[in-house]
Amino acid sequence: MSAESYRLAAAVLDALRERGMTLAVAESLTGGALSAALVEIPGASDVLNGAVVAYATPIKASVLGVDPLRLAEYGPVDPEVARQMAAGARHALAVDGRPAAVGVATTGVAGPTPQGGQPVGRVHIGVSVAERSFSRAFLFDGDRSAIRSAAVVAALALVFEAVTGGEIDPGAPGSDERE
């Protein structure tokens, strides 16, 4: 894990803890790397409810509640799919019947080839807090590993922003295209 990922993960967990909030994670292209960055920080279990690695497209619908018609029409690399994944994680990873306060999701194309008409490096990160959700689109450069690492950093930064109302520079190369 990079020093930047560690710093951001610690900041996210501290911000959640200070506000009495919990977090649920849904990952596709990051394949568990986002969850791993969070659990690297001691005390993560105070706020991290859990994570779902929904790598296969049908799992996004069956476990996270993403609209199957949306998946069929637009594919998994889509801003609305990212938003629905984040909201679905909040509910799928509820504790004692209470959804997590915050959900975050990653979906995209890490390469080596384009997928479903989407270029390598296209990433959508969704965040859901209560009934408000949003996604941001990124186009990261680099190889598969660099794209996945950049997505982890960007996802952590977006969660921090959503929880605190402040922005952290994601520190990842690529364009931030708001959806």
What are the boundaries of each domain within the chain? 3-178
Single pTM value for the model: 0.93
Q: Does the pLDDT of residue 175 top 60, yes or no?
A: no
* CATH number for the domain whose boundaries are 3-178: 3.90.950.20
Query: What are 22-44's pLDDT values in tens digits?
Result: 999 999 999 999 999 999 999 99
Long-range CB pairs of 92-97, under 8 A, 24+ apart, other chains included: 92/24, 92/26, 92/52, 92/63, 92/64, 92/65, 93/24, 93/25, 93/49, 93/50, 93/51, 93/52, 94/49, 95/22, 95/49
Counting residues of the chain whose pLDDT is more than 70, the rounded percentage is 93
Query: What are 95-149's pLDDT values in tens digits?
Result: 999 999 999 999 999 999 999 999 999 999 999 998 799 999 999 999 999 999 9
Q: Does the pLDDT of residue 61 top 60, yes or no?
A: yes
